[in-house]
Structure 1
Amino acid sequence: MGEVVALLVVAFGVGIVIGLTGMGGGALMTPALIFLGVPPTAAVANDLVAASVNKTVGAAVHWRSGSPNLRLAAWLTAGSVPFAFAGAFIIDAYGASGDPQAFLKVAIGVALLLTAGLYTVRMYLNMSRRVRVDPRAADPVVRPVPTLLVGAVGGLLVGITSVGSGSLIMVCLLLLYPTLAARRLVGTDLVQAIPLVVAASVSHIIVSGIDWDVLLPLVLGGAPGTYLGARLSSVVPQSVTRRGIATVLTLTGLAMLQVPPVWVGIIGAGLVVLGPVVWGLVRRAALSRDGSRRGRAGAGSRRTP
């Protein structure tokens, strides 16, 4: 009973974070399950199945509003689904010659550090593009080959670790399609994430099955948590929350890689103390550039006869 309560509490807490920030739960839920004693293979499998339910709800909302770029989502899906489906079989093949649990811990640790870095990049790109993207502008032309490659790399990462669908792919989309409006960007990412996560979860069910004692608390605790987080998103400072998540992901990734606790603590203290200072300087520089750009644009329009 105690384990079920712990899973409900963790799922509820992760759901709040998802509702507040829109960040995918794999980067938070999978390591949380491992720290609760769930084997890494079971943690990945059950988290993927729960994510396939939660992402479907979010994608349905965006589908009804007409925000996704369906052609872009189709190219991403074509690249991601085969590689996501292969994830569980890659883990199973490794298990024939090594320890799949140890392999997954290392893979998840690396994925978390990558996610933390990409999440920081995503915050910077969102901040710097805020004044440049016209939401009424036409969608950019889809670039099939790089889009397929983004889907393939993201699908493989999700298929093995359950981490990456809301971080790696989103950042790559920001870089490939900087003029795509934020609403359509989020909608496209959510729509392509459904077949991606479903393919990964199906392969994990085939290879290792699911544990209903773990899965049900994830769904029952995560749904109300996500709803509450969404309600709180208008009153909780997003910048503070997101910087905190990047710090947590970094420290969790280091712990997964078995970095000595002393060094994890030192790095954590450095991120907490120096992180806000560095981010403030970066933000000030970005806003200064935007102000200069708008000033030049205004001067040019005044000189135009």
Structure 2
Amino acid sequence: MSIDPLMVLASLGIGVVVGLTGMGGGALMTPVMVLLFNVPPLTAVSSDLVASAVMKPVGSFVHLRRGTVNLGLVKWLCLGSVPAAFCGVLVTRALGSGKEVQDAVQTALGVALLVAAAGLIIRAYLRLSERARRRDGSAEALPQDRPEVRMRPLPTVLVGAVGGLVVGMTSVGSGSLIIIALMALYPRLKASQLVGTDLLQAVPLVAAAALGHILFGDFKLGLTASLLLGAVPGVWVGAQLSSRAPGGVVRRALAFVLLASALKLLGVSTPATGIALVAVALVAPVLWMLIRRRLGFPALAGRRARARLRRAQADGPLADGPLPQTES
């Protein structure tokens, strides 16, 4: 078993991003292995899923102990996701062998990354829209204790099945795609419950996908060990920084990186990728500012935090404690 120091460093950086945002593990780790280290797509998916199966239980058990998990949702999600994740590996193998299956996995990964990037944008919009409704008093206030939700078994099982299939084939989706669907199906869930429920259901989901890849995929122990050596301390560092870092900026940068990786995995030429990314970098901030203004927020998120800081300074010396943070 050989350890790749550069792979350890790359996974360390990705682990920090995961600790900061709670997402992006498979969506970043797998394309980095494929695009920067020339790891075959199926090998990258297999090793990333096995590494995730080791890391996922840590955060999920923290949420379980704190009571921020809806166990009913976990049950219905796993009913669809666990068998679908295992079947995703079989579907991948049924596509062929050699170059054919690698190309198919790479294409599926590119599509999944596009969906994940779109999911990040949708999630940010939904959060901003919810804040606007609560500010205006047009949204029903959530109770302070854990809100009761009306279970929707069939849609929940279907979400789990689709998410499990995508994860089994690409390693992407357990922390980015499924949580978007949960937000739409169960809008009364608190943010902490959304994250906790998604993390716990991802444990058996990723475990099933990892088992399938160990048996039928292209799992490499040395590659997985390199991922774990970097990602585990990286996640811890990211979690320590998460309370002080501007999470909204990190998530937008993550969506940008996912888009770039998706375009390259889908075979888009480097000049065309560059043009698309420059266009997004120029247009997206303007559109987001227009959306913020339309919802009644300042165009620049930092303006409100700076105003609060100026008011605090005008009132007297600042008390010990963290400075106001910018919004997403």
1:168 to 170, 173, 177: 177
Q: How does 1:156-305 map to 2 (within 5 A)?
A: 156-287=165-296
Answer with 132-141 or 235-244: which moved more.
132-141
1:284/1:202 CA distance change after superposition, 3 Å = same
Q: How does 1:125-164 map to 2 (within 5 A)?
A: 125-130=126-131, 131=134, 132=139, 134=142, 136=144, 138-164=147-173
Following TM superposition, by how much is the alpha carbon of 1:273 offset from its aligned partner in structure 2, in angstroms? Answer: 2.0
Q: Within 1, Cα distance between the matches of 2:255 and 2:119?
A: 9
Following TM superposition, by how much is the alpha carbon of 1:227 offset from its aligned partner in structure 2, in angstroms? Answer: 1.0
Matched residue SS, 1:129: helix
Q: Within 2, Cα distance between the matches of 1:199 and 1:168?
A: 18
Q: Within 2, Cα distance between the matches of 1:16 and 1:268?
A: 24
Q: Within 1, Cα distance between the matches of 2:24 and 2:143?
A: 24
**What amino acid does structure 1 have at the position aligned with 2:8?**
L
Instruction: Verify the 8 A CA contact 1:128 1:287 in the aligned structure 2.
Output: no
Aligned residue for 2:67?
66
CA deviation map 1:12-57 (0-9, x unaligned): 0100100111114010000001121111111001100111111110
**Is 2:112 the partner of 1:111?**
yes
Aligned residue for 1:298?
none
Answer with 197-206 or 115-124: which moved more.
115-124
TM norm structure 2: 0.84
What percent of counterpart residues are identical? 47
**What amino acid does structure 2 have at the position aligned with 1:235?**
R
Aligned residue for 1:22?
22
Matched residue SS, 2:295: helix
Aligned residue for 1:295?
none
Cα-Cα RMSD: 1.9
**What amino acid does structure 2 have at the position aligned with 1:136?**
Q
CA deviation map 1:131-162 (0-9, x unaligned): 34525262211100110110010000000000
Q: How many residues align?
A: 289
1:106/1:209 CA distance change after superposition, 3 Å = closer
Which stretches in structure 2 are left out of the alignment for 5+ residues? 298-328
TM norm structure 1: 0.90
Aligned residue for 2:310?
none
Q: Within 1, Cα distance between the matches of 2:292 and 2:247?
A: 14
Aligned residue for 1:8?
8
Instruction: Verify the 8 A CA contact 1:135 1:182 in the aligned structure 2.
Output: no
1:237/1:151 CA distance change after superposition, 3 Å = same
**What amino acid does structure 1 have at the position aligned with 2:30?**
T
CA deviation map 1:113-144 (0-9, x unaligned): 11111111011112222434525262211100
Matched residue SS, 1:201: helix
Which stretches in structure 1 are left out of the alignment for 5+ residues? 289-305
Following TM superposition, by how much is the alpha carbon of 1:275 offset from its aligned partner in structure 2, in angstroms? Answer: 1.7
**What amino acid does structure 1 have at the position aligned with 2:278?**
A
Q: Within 1, Cα distance between the matches of 2:143 and 2:21?
A: 21
Answer with 207-216 or 111-120: which moved more.
207-216
The runs of at least 4 consecutive aligned structure 1 residues that moved more than 6 Å come to: none
Aligned residue for 1:34?
34
Q: Within 1, Cα distance between the matches of 2:71 and 2:16?
A: 28
